[in-house]
Amino acid sequence: MALAKLTEYLDAHNARYMVIAHSLAYTAQGIAGLAHIPGKELAKTVMVRLDGELAMAVLPAKYHVDLTTLKRAANAKTAALATEDEFKELFLECETGAMPPFGNLYGVAVFADTSLEDDKEIAFNAGTHRELIRMAWEDYKKLAQPRMARFAAGRPAEAA
């Protein structure tokens, strides 16, 4: 059902995209390996609370969210990772942890890490742990309208 909502939105805006089916995987790096997509092109959606409000932080799968930097970029007083219980009701049609990075479809702000602009394409969960969407970065940026900031941190997961 989540894939249908997302593809309906993309189709309504004449976006070009590809749906990629893969075997069951729960981690972003695991999905990248199964789908043969470089970890820097696979984006993950991390739910955060900024001043108590839910928001999406979208960043390359191989990094983690630097909450201090994101808080500063969002001009927020507080920033914390959101718990599953805090956001699962918002994404009823999605499998937990597989939310697509389109906060505008769910009424939440989206922050995307500027490093995602280094690639011409972006791939992300399509609401399940078995499907991805791959599309042009510029189309994603136009449709999701994320606030751009640099907040990805840490060593690449494959080097950790």
Say which CATH number the domain at 107 has.
3.90.960.10
Q: Is residue 17 part of a domain?
A: yes
Domain that holds residue 113: 2-154
Q: Is residue 50 part of a domain?
A: yes
Span between the terminal Cα atoms of the chain, in Å: 35
- Position 159 scores a pLDDT of 38
Residue 30: the pLDDT is 65
The answer to whether residue 160 is domain-embedded is no
pTM of the model: 0.88
* pLDDT in the model for residue 157: 44
User: Domain for residue 159, yes or no?
Assistant: no
Instruction: Say how many domains are in the chain.
Output: 1
Residue 88 lies in a domain: yes
Is 70 exceeded by the pLDDT of residue 160?
no
The answer as to whether 139 is a domain residue is yes
In a domain, 87, yes or no: yes
Bigger pLDDT: 95 or 76? 76
Contacts of 7 (CB under 8 A, 6+ apart): 17, 19, 126, 133
For residue 32, the number of C-alpha atoms closer than 13 Å in the C-beta half-sphere is: 18
Residues in the chain: 160
**The pLDDT value given to residue 73:** 95
